[in-house]
Amino acid sequence: MEPPIAKRRPTERNLHGETVVDNYAWMKDRGDPEVLSYLDEENAYTRAMTDHLSSLRDEIFVEIKERTQETDLAVPAKRGDYWYSTRTEEGRPYGIWVRMAGGPDGPETVLLDENEAAEGHDYFRLANFSVSPDAGIVGYSVDTDGGERYTTRFRTAATGEVLDDEIPGTYYGAAWASDSLHYFYTVTDAAMRPWQVWRHRLGTPASDDALVYQEDDDRYYLSVRRSRSGDFIFIDLGSAVTGEVRFIPADDPEAESVPVLPRIEGVEYAVDHRGDEFWIVTNDGALDGRLVRRSVAGGDTVEVVGHEPGSKLAHPDCFADHIVVWGRHEGLPAALIVDPDRGESAYLSFGEVVYQVGPGANYEFDTPLLRYGYESPVTPPSVFDHDVATGERTLLKQKTVLGDYDPAAYSTAREWVEAADGARIPVSVVRRADTPVDGSAPLFVYAYGAYEISMPARFSIPRLSLLDRGVVYAIAHVRGGGEMGKTWYEQGKLGHKMNTFTDLLDATRHLTDRGYGDPGRVAIRGGSAGGLTIGAAVNLAPDRFRVAVAEVPFVDVINTMLDETLPLTIVEWEEWGNPAIEEQYRWMRSYAPYENVGEGAYPALLITGGLNDPRVQYWEPAKWTALLRNSSIGERPVLLKMEMGAGHFARSGRYDAWRDEAFVLAFALDELGVVDG
């Protein structure tokens, strides 16, 4: 089957003395029937080109399914008189939200069955599930097309009766007032920027809802939440470099919001509440953060934990008798336990060289226990209770991996890669212990590198289908992420963005030099901003990789950052730059994947997109595919897989997610020459 060849309709962009011709700008017109026709042709071509992999895809899907305990119950967590949990059932794609009365083994009430809510919809995604303080009402939001504009609904917890209240066009973030009558939520503007907080009163129409706060600065996002103490409603506002938190007493929902600290350009802070004080992590005078406290009534801040360069303090969780500050320490995720009365602090310690740890379901404020989740590339997700007073840890549950999974059969490592400028890049590696480190194994490398987001070294059942076929898997923690503190992020953004891509090149070279992989059989993968990393890397060194997977990739950087009507554009000038400014245009012009496709033997490429994606518009992967297809990049396949009824997060439901993952893994294994189980 011949690949689709998109029509060329030249459009000129004249900027800073340079004329650039874009032959595929016409794809932005969703109303043009040729756009949908072209996308359908690409999907048909991808199906035809991967039809020979159907057996392998089915094999991998079955492996994922047979390793997964489909009927399962998450560890129940106490809040008030009830214990809350979620469970799954074999054969059903979505979760079920439940609670038990009197104890974790008490009689169960179903609060929301996502499977029932999803009936009649090809796509379903839940957000903002929350139970009112009096435990009587459940609020939840649903998206049925992937566009991320939700409809919020309410039902009684005891009977499941759906109330007449319905709020269209909501976004992420919700909070109940103490009276269990008022409900706070967010909405977006035309560019999908969450910019307003509204207040709804149960039993009244959404048209009567009150605007609580509006953020007019286009650089800022906002969200809303309730403090762990339950005493305050917090409105979190943030740009890429500046933050502000406003508060409303939860027992006075009609009060005006007040800032915890003044907004200062370049200063970010995060807040929680305990007693008569706010506990604040701020980067004011501390690049990687320090912990301070301040009276709710106002006054000066008092430092509790000082700045330690390279150890990131991110956000505090307050309990009645202790504070937990989540962040990064020695390049790994960390939980710092703080005694609020004595000011003493210590990090929790963990035994593996790479791992992921984060807060669990801590619904109770007055408790000596910290519940956290722990996992690593070889340790399945585990739930622990840590007694802050005694130091005792209790394993409550570890995810069951069916079959013959044995963690001892696998090996993890942490490599440090020296970049050309001397930076030391951490890389997390996992393989079967019997996979030789002699340069013969296929190598699969994942990378992201943006927004100060650290890529977690998690456990993955689908990944076992790679490892058991002799593939070595690695996560390159490239600059632009937050793995090594704020400086790590700043060295991979704006005018330093090229470091993100060269870090990936240096990491893959190091891994093959160290014998982890065959230089001729290297796969790379990334999504969204990580798709940009993949696109830039293959332009810089197309012969370095055998296969590349770019999922919902942000590749048309300059054109997107010039269009202020698009979601994320103005907000993200502080991340990527504003191409209307010549210096910043030159940064982007040097690496934007769509603008820098060259010649030579490119790797096989699998590119994905979502027609309803509000984050990375569908035309970015479509235009990039068309350009690659019409460039001199060699004979390897360039495939576009466009989801026509989904958005940024692809299809919904766990079975569809497993099939999508099986599709990617089968494509990569085939191109790497690994086709047998």
Catalytic residue ranges: 528, 613, 648
Contact residues for 23 (Cβ-Cβ < 8 A; gap 6+): 8, 9, 10, 11, 626, 627, 630
Distance CA 230, CA 224 (A): 13
> Is 241 in a helix, a strand, or coil?
coil
Distance CA 170, CA 195 (A): 11
Query: How far lies 482's CA from each of 333, 378, 415, 613, in Å?
Result: 10, 23, 17, 25
Distance CA 156, CA 132 (A): 10
From the number of C-beta atoms within 10 Å of its C-beta (0-12, 13-18, 19+), residue 404 rates as: exposed
Cβ atoms of 278 and 301 within 8 Å: the answer is no
Residue type at position 31:
G
Neighbouring C-alpha atoms within 13 Å toward the C-beta of 270:
18
Distance CA 157, CA 180 (A): 12
Provide the angle, in degrees to the nearest 10, between the axes of the packed helices 529-540 and 498-513: 70
State the CB neighbour count (10 A cutoff) for residue 203.
10
DSSP secondary structure string, 553-615? ----HHHHHH-TTSTTTTTTHHHH--TTSHHHHHHHHHH-GGG---SS-PPEEEEEEETT-SS
Contact residues for 210 (Cβ-Cβ < 8 A; gap 6+): 198, 199, 254
Closest by CA to 270, choosing from 230, 308, 312, is 312
What is the chain's Cα-based Rg? Answer: 25
Query: How far lies 553's CA from each of 215, 241, 565, 603, 619, in Å?
Result: 29, 24, 19, 16, 10
Distance CA 586, CA 564 (A): 19
Structure tokens, 28: 């932005």
Distance CA 445, CA 53 (A): 22
